[in-house]
Amino acid sequence: MAVWITDRPQAEKAQWHVPCIRIAWTEHNEEDERDTMKKMCCTLALMLVLAGLAACSRPPAPPPRADQKEEPVVIVGPVKINPHPSSLTGKTVVLRWNGNCNGDTFLNNLAGRLKNEVKQVRIVKMWEVDPDTAVVSRDLAKSQAIATAIAAQKPALVIAAQADSN
């Protein structure tokens, strides 16, 4: 079925036109319908691909401003790792919590187990000694300050809880 809106004079003597709806029946053609559906599906698929590409692409980074200082590049050379202590008896163990939920619970349980299993171990909970260390360090200066505070305790071992614990 097709619908057209046309202008047709209402009467011969009339000087104006009135919109008129003309309805005509057309033959139902399944091939035309399938072709139309194929075209619509291809168009929709193309639109989805383009939308996905647009969502995944990132705009280029803006150029640095004239007043913006460039961060210095820190080059780290070879690192010598200390050997593991053969025993923790009479040693200091520092527990470092980064402030995430339940990390202190995990470290408190670990401290209890160490005290029960190791004789004369000294446990230092950094978040109790220096509450400023119970944070996620987001820059080099804060990381160095935390490392200095931990090193001041002269630990044989440092155990840190870096993630949430349920």
**3 state SS for 34-59:** HHHHHHHHHHHHHHHHHHHHHHHCCC
Between CA 10 and CA 89 the distance in angstroms is 110
Q: pLDDT tens digits for the chain (166 residues)?
A: 444 444 554 444 444 555 555 555 556 677 778 888 888 888 999 888 888 777 777 677 777 677 777 777 888 888 888 788 889 999 999 999 988 888 888 899 999 999 999 989 999 999 999 999 999 888 889 999 999 999 999 999 999 987 665 5
pTM score: 0.52
**C-alpha–C-alpha distance, residues 66 and 94, integer Å:** 44
- CA 132 to CA 142: how far, in whole Å? 10
